[in-house]
Structure 1
Amino acid sequence: MGLGKDESETAERSDRSLSEDENRMNPDAEAKEKKGGGSGSSEDESNGLSVERIFEGQEVPSWRGQLTFRAFAVSFVLSVMFAFIVMKLNLTAGIIPSLNVSAGLLGFFFVKTWTKVLDKSGLLRVPFTRQENTVIQTCVVASSGIAFSGGFGTYLFAMSKRVADQSKDPQRAQVFKDPSLSWMIGFLFVVSFLGLFAVVPLRKIMIIDFKLTYPSGTATAHLINSFHTPEGAKLAKKQVKALGKFFSFSFLWGFFQWFYTAGDGCGFTEFPSLGLKALQYRFYFDFSATYVGVGMICPYIINVSVLLGGILSWGLMWPLIETREGHWYPADEGPTSMRGIQGYKVFISIAIILGDGLYNFFKVLGRTLSGLYRQLQDREMSHVLPIANGSSPKNPQVSYDDRRRTQLFLKDQIPTWFAIAGYVTIAAISTASLPHMFPQLKWFYILVIYLFAPTLGFCNAYGCGLTDWSLASTYGTLAIFMIGAWAGASHGGILAGLAACGVMMNIVSTASDLTQDFKTGYLTLASPRSMFVSQVIGTAMGCVISPCVFWLFYKAFKDLGLPGSAYPVPYGIVFRSMAELGVEGVSSLPKHCLTLCYGFFSAAMIINGFRDLVGKKWVRFIPLPMAMAIPFYIGPYFAIDMCVGSLILFIWEKINKTKADAFGPAVASGLICGDGIWTLPSSILALAGVNPPICMKFLSRATNKRVNGFLGS
């Protein structure tokens, strides 16, 4: 459902790989990982691996001292930058890798530069600490996360007339709600904060009592801790230099390409690198620095899975189904009609996504319940909290790091009454205001969602702590079907289901994000209060910045959301189709489409089952169904870019693995950031009516001959 950072299963898998890279960049983290702790709680102090011993001489600022003006000034600048990056990824292919490394690196670089200038001038009063670095990272990730969970490429845009018109059904086309800056900002403000208050009372249980790992939050903490050691600061400086170099290259490459795009089908993105016939079926390298960078960050199996999905769909299935035109579906249906071949593309993709999502939902839910049962049972039997892996009630081992971190984590408590009052207040405001924005979404639908939201938020946060998978997209999909079916087609079930999806996704995703941040703060001695305030401020920034960035795209690119455009917003039509399916059933699908959907739904579950049954040695050779589903609708062109990124990283690792591990994420982030930021000036140029001067097209020999003959006449 779009691969969003911490919002989608596939993205979480790539985040775990990135976490491994971060651990390799930090010798302390790697040593702890080998010992099996993973969460920083099993340091061997006798071997000098205690992190907090290194920082023992540094005073930890108060929670208010961690919230500095410079931290939020830097966070705002980075939030705008990352909003453009995430929005571009969201509106093109929907694959959004973790940008935590970029946020940490750039936050460290900007504030370190700031403090160095002040120090030389004698004006520096407050030194830059790892706690302040954690505040920046938390704020930036919370803000840029709204660019995905806000639904600009999924449920929110699925409500628009541009997507509704693609169904070619007069009745369905009348059910829409076009984007507007005012209601989008208002909607995000009333739904994005609830998840923060839902899990605050459970922070001690998650972090201290159950000692959940939260691999991404742990890796981020190790990264920040390493930055603030002398060796880590030197490495970070080199990483920022590499990021800046490839940022400049990527930005200038995007600028250069713009000159050749003065019309439809023009530019380097249409270069037939694999031949004109392959170009027709979207097999080509489109020279996108963004997706080359994404390919360098994502694990090899994800990139290969996306390519396999593209070969299976656009290389085999769609050419075969096209031969059944007039038999399986009407020949006079347009290319965007759900009753034509487009129906197969969209609904088979949905079937794979649902199969993968439901399998992982039940797997993570099972692990959550069994893990929760075991930990509660251990507490009842021993009355001793499980401190770390391998600890036992008979021989509890509490390290210096754990004592120090627990002491400071419990020092600045967030009152439970404050969390409950905040939840009830925001829920009441939301229940009263959302029906005015979406008359189809009745107040009692919202009330039911909010009654179950704390439980679902806890399940997602706990499961994320165990497995590093956030299932927010799956919860959102369930809301589409449940609320849509409850409302019914005659009472606006399509819009009600999509709006309910937004409410649910924002609650459960922010719940898991906040607990990840609490884990990061626990390991860097950042106060829970400063983490909570930073998350709130970052979320508020995102609620304004992300809609404004989307509005710029929406106004600048008139073909936004249309198939074949530069920004096709593929998951807009996918979410819209799911909502229509939930309220109207499967009767309108083309012939044999439902049978194929059943087959691919089952195949997704079976493949996931095999992945869990085979050993680690073989699992890396079994593709990921979620990743395979992405190109079914939009084509495999971006998969080729990602595989090029994988190939670059693979060769780099063969030549110098240490350098590749240390600088690969920085280089990839530079490629992604530069190309992403170029969308800002390109959008401004489009709004100003400044068009590129050249159209570069590629024609076959026969077509070129006809064109020359026509021009010669």
Structure 2
Amino acid sequence: MDRSNGVTRRDTYPSELENGAAMADVGAKRSDVEREGEEEEDVSVEKIFESKEVPSWQNQLTLRAFIVSFVLSILFAFIVMKLNLTTGIIPSLSVSAGLLGFFFLKTWTKLLQKSGLLKQPFTRQENTVIQTCVVASSGIAFSGGFGTYLFGMSSVAAKQSTEANNSQNIKEPGLAWMIGFLFVVSFLGLFSVIPLRKIMIIDFKLIYPSGTATAHLINSFHTPKGAKLAKKQVRALGKFFTFSFLWGFFQWFFTAGGDCGFVNFPTFGLKAYEHRFYFDFSATYVGVGMICPYLINISLLLGAILSWGIMWPLIQDRKGHWYPANLGESSLHGLQGYKVFIAIAMILGDGLYNFCKVFGYTLYGLYHQFKNKSVLPVAGRSPSEPSLSIDDKRRTELFFKDQIPTWFAVAGYVVIAIISTISLPHIFHQLKWYYIVVIYIFAPILAFCNSYGCGLTDWSLPSTYGKLAIFTIGAWAGASNGGVLAGLAACGVMMNIVSTASDLTQDFKTGYLTLASPRSMFVSQVIGTAMGCVISPCVFWLFYKAFHDLGQPGSQYPAPYGLVYRNISILGVDGFSALPKNCLTLCYIFFAGAIVICGVRDAVGKKRARFIPIPMAMAIPFYLGSYFAIDMCLGSLILFVWRKMNKRKADAFAPAVASGLICGDGIWTLPQSILALAGVNPPICMKFLSRKDNARVDTFLGS
């Protein structure tokens, strides 16, 4: 997971908290299914499956698996895109992908079996292929930057910023160039880590907690007990999917105009509503709250109270002293500047600390790996060594069986790098070919660091490496040469490389534990990535065309991180000239505060750290308000009460219920978008007015 743009794929955080402190679905809150998998591990998982033949790597890659993967990829693309464009908090969808993949193919094969047409049984290797393909595809919806660096290039984001909003630093979204861009940058990371797979999985025996938990889940699905529980989980997911979809449909009828509908219900009163404290009846974020750890949700709420409850009212009182009183709400020289740049300072402080921490772990781990090399298994060691367990012997034997030649990886990387170096300057003329060459020289090293750190800590940091590219390439290009756009494009190149690299090594670990071939893992990752390169831009384009106020503050889809990333790029190119009075001082304080809080969290140990908030999570509501944090805290409360009443049942079914709430509300955006494109508008506007305003409206209508 990555703690950078939110909690996202195999990452369970806000897009700025991608793989971090909390592993939701497939980590921190592991279900009974996963625990059962661990119990089976103790009595040898492979003994349970020894009567089942492992299919060849070609037979693991079935047409039916990719048909199911394609359907689920579209579903998850809508979910991730909606979350990207609202708050950027994206939970892990690994459990949902594995569970739904199991359900669809199990149903498919049962029907074929009854009709006597079943030629190949459904295996855990095929289930792993589906999960890998779906997560790779939906991951492009995040690393593709539709809510971050890519949207930050648009004129919508540029108009909200007072600097660098000229044609040199603006590129409007376009379906063709977005698909082309993703195709030339999304595959390099896959080739960069292939030569290291044996070192990571066999030699260093890295844990990859998310990949391991996903493997336990899939292994347990394919035991009789696990299959029975999986059916119940799918039933729960379907029930809450239906409820969430219908609730979204019902709410739509009351949104005929700005500030209309349940989403604007002033739960705690009109004064609190003005400061963005209200419950907006979002099934999506109640579900996300059930998946994210309690600490994330509490941190979000604390950040909202600190900013909207204390700081912004105090700074607003300085209007006319700290900033001109006549500025519009969206001007970065006014209150908006404090909201955006203080949030950026906290994000950068937390990101820098965790980058240094994970990089330190990486160096320390490598030092000990090589120092104690004699006691570690080494590449090429015979799987029949007596020191290996029965499971490890079987897994290592099959892991070595289907090798991917190193020459293939090197040749693939070089060929794609050449194509990318030639084509990217045609998409972004500000991004010179020599900038790209420098990125591709250092990218494999950074991809290795990210993959290794992820294996140790479960933290993948693509957006942190992306910000590094923003500052480096943006400053190199310079403001007069479109440095803002060059920095954002470089961010995209770097993010896609390091993100796909860590994802593939996670999948190699999952495949190792489920006996899925490294070749089938690589091919399914490639196919999933290719699906994502087409599906994600198309889904974004649908949002972009259907919702004309997309990216505007206060709209249904404000895309807050587009502005954040653009302003990070402006800071990298122009320095601090855009900041209002005293904003820089506050930025320094919050930047240092984020580092100190992270340091204290690590110093006090895990037990006490759960009472100390996470700065990255606190920063998100600084710009958006607390409405989504209240939704997520409600999700945490539901889970807390459920676990008090029946812990075993809650652990088993909470991920399925949460996934149903997220999926149903997420997929409702498809018919909602189609209705908007067709010009079909909701029939009713439900607004909430104060008694005074209501009297004025009655007087006006009466006259």
Same topology, TM > 0.5:
yes
Alignment of 1:633-648 (within 5 A): 633-648=623-638
| 1:464 alignment counterpart | 454
Q: TM-score, normalized by length of structure 2?
A: 0.97
Does residue 682 (structure 1) correspond to residue 672 (structure 2)? The answer is: yes
Q: 2: CA distance between counterparts of 1:362 and 1:152? A: 27
Q: 2: CA distance between counterparts of 1:96 and 1:429? A: 32
Q: 1: CA distance between counterparts of 2:636 and 2:284? A: 13
Does residue 288 (structure 1) correspond to residue 288 (structure 2)? The answer is: no
Q: 2: CA distance between counterparts of 1:515 and 1:199? A: 7
| 1:522 alignment counterpart | 512
| 2:691 alignment counterpart | 701
Does residue 358 (structure 1) correspond to residue 352 (structure 2)? The answer is: yes
**Equivalent pairs, count:** 692
Q: Is the 8 A contact 2:18 2:460 kept in 1?
A: no
| 2:115 alignment counterpart | 121
| 2:419 alignment counterpart | 429
Q: 1: CA distance between counterparts of 2:702 and 2:380? A: 82
Q: 1: CA distance between counterparts of 2:683 and 2:369? A: 66
| 2:77 alignment counterpart | 83
Q: Aligned to 1:167, what secondary structure does the other structure show? A: coil
Alignment of 1:443-462 (within 5 A): 443-462=433-452
Alignment of 1:596-607 (within 5 A): 596-607=586-597
Q: 1: CA distance between counterparts of 2:495 and 2:389? A: 38
1:398 positional shift: 1.1
Q: 1: CA distance between counterparts of 2:167 and 2:320? A: 25
Change (3 A) 1:227 1:63: same
Change (3 A) 1:399 1:472: same
1:11 positional shift: 4.2
1:24 positional shift: 3.8
Q: 2: CA distance between counterparts of 1:582 and 1:545? A: 32
Q: Is the 8 A contact 2:103 2:234 kept in 1?
A: yes
1:17 positional shift: 6.3
Provide runs of 4+ in structure 1 moved above 2 Å.
Answer: 4-18, 20-32, 168-175, 381-388
Q: 2: CA distance between counterparts of 1:575 and 1:88? A: 18
Q: Is the 8 A contact 2:349 2:594 kept in 1?
A: yes
RMSD of equivalent CA atoms: 1.6
Q: Is the 8 A contact 1:23 1:30 kept in 2?
A: no
Q: Is the 8 A contact 1:16 1:216 kept in 2?
A: no
Q: Which amino acid counterpart does residue 573 of structure 2 have in structure 1?
A: V
Q: 1: CA distance between counterparts of 2:449 and 2:193? A: 10
| 1:136 alignment counterpart | 130
Q: Is the 8 A contact 1:17 1:299 kept in 2?
A: no
Alignment of 1:209-288 (within 5 A): 209-288=203-282
Q: TM-score, normalized by length of structure 1?
A: 0.95
| 1:157 alignment counterpart | 151
Select the residue among 429, 442, 452 that pairs with 1:439.
429
Q: 2: CA distance between counterparts of 1:365 and 1:226? A: 34
Deviations 1:585-622 (A, max 9, x none): 10221000000000000010100011101122211100
Does residue 369 (structure 1) correspond to residue 384 (structure 2)? The answer is: no
Alignment of 1:170-569 (within 5 A): 171-172=165-166, 175-379=169-373, 381-382=374-375, 384-385=377-378, 397-569=387-559
Q: Aligned to 1:553, what secondary structure does the other structure show? A: helix
1:384 positional shift: 4.7
1:171 positional shift: 5.0
Q: Which amino acid counterpart does residue 505 of structure 2 have in structure 1?
A: T
Q: Is the 8 A contact 1:164 1:173 kept in 2?
A: no
Q: Is the 8 A contact 2:304 2:618 kept in 1?
A: yes
Deviations 1:472-517 (A, max 9, x none): 1100001001100000001110000000000000000000000000
Change (3 A) 1:215 1:384: closer
Q: 1: CA distance between counterparts of 2:310 and 2:281? A: 25
Q: Is the 8 A contact 2:128 2:218 kept in 1?
A: yes
Q: Is the 8 A contact 2:675 2:681 kept in 1?
A: yes
Q: Is the 8 A contact 1:272 1:698 kept in 2?
A: yes
Q: Is the 8 A contact 1:16 1:468 kept in 2?
A: no
> Which shows bigger deviation, 173-182 or 472-481?
173-182
Q: Aligned to 2:20, what secondary structure does the other structure show? A: helix
Q: Is the 8 A contact 2:470 2:491 kept in 1?
A: yes
Q: Is the 8 A contact 2:453 2:459 kept in 1?
A: yes
Q: Which amino acid counterpart does residue 558 of structure 1 have in structure 2?
A: H
Q: Which amino acid counterpart does residue 2 of structure 1 have in structure 2?
A: N
Q: 2: CA distance between counterparts of 1:535 and 1:17? A: 21
Q: 2: CA distance between counterparts of 1:503 and 1:248? A: 38
| 1:625 alignment counterpart | 615
Q: Aligned to 2:22, what secondary structure does the other structure show? A: helix
| 1:26 alignment counterpart | 34
Q: 2: CA distance between counterparts of 1:368 and 1:74? A: 37
Q: 1: CA distance between counterparts of 2:288 and 2:59? A: 36
1:373 positional shift: 1.0
Q: 1: CA distance between counterparts of 2:537 and 2:162? A: 28
Q: Which runs of 5+ in 2 are unaligned?
A: none
Deviations 1:25-81 (A, max 9, x none): 23444448xxxxxxxxxx55xxxx110000000000000000000000000000000
Q: Is the 8 A contact 2:473 2:487 kept in 1?
A: yes
Deviations 1:632-681 (A, max 9, x none): 01111100000000000000000000000000000000000000000000
Q: Which amino acid counterpart does residue 701 of structure 1 have in structure 2?
A: R
1:378 positional shift: 1.2
| 2:643 alignment counterpart | 653
Q: Aligned to 1:339, what secondary structure does the other structure show? A: coil
| 1:38 alignment counterpart | none
Q: Aligned to 1:588, what secondary structure does the other structure show? A: coil
1:16 positional shift: 5.3
Q: Is the 8 A contact 2:5 2:18 kept in 1?
A: no
Change (3 A) 1:384 1:260: closer
Change (3 A) 1:230 1:164: same
| 2:48 alignment counterpart | 54
1:20 positional shift: 3.8
Q: 2: CA distance between counterparts of 1:170 and 1:356? A: 26
Q: 2: CA distance between counterparts of 1:495 and 1:160? A: 10
1:19 positional shift: 1.7
| 2:5 alignment counterpart | 2
Change (3 A) 1:382 1:111: closer
Change (3 A) 1:173 1:563: farther
Q: 2: CA distance between counterparts of 1:475 and 1:132? A: 33
Q: Which amino acid counterpart does residue 453 of structure 2 have in structure 1?
A: G
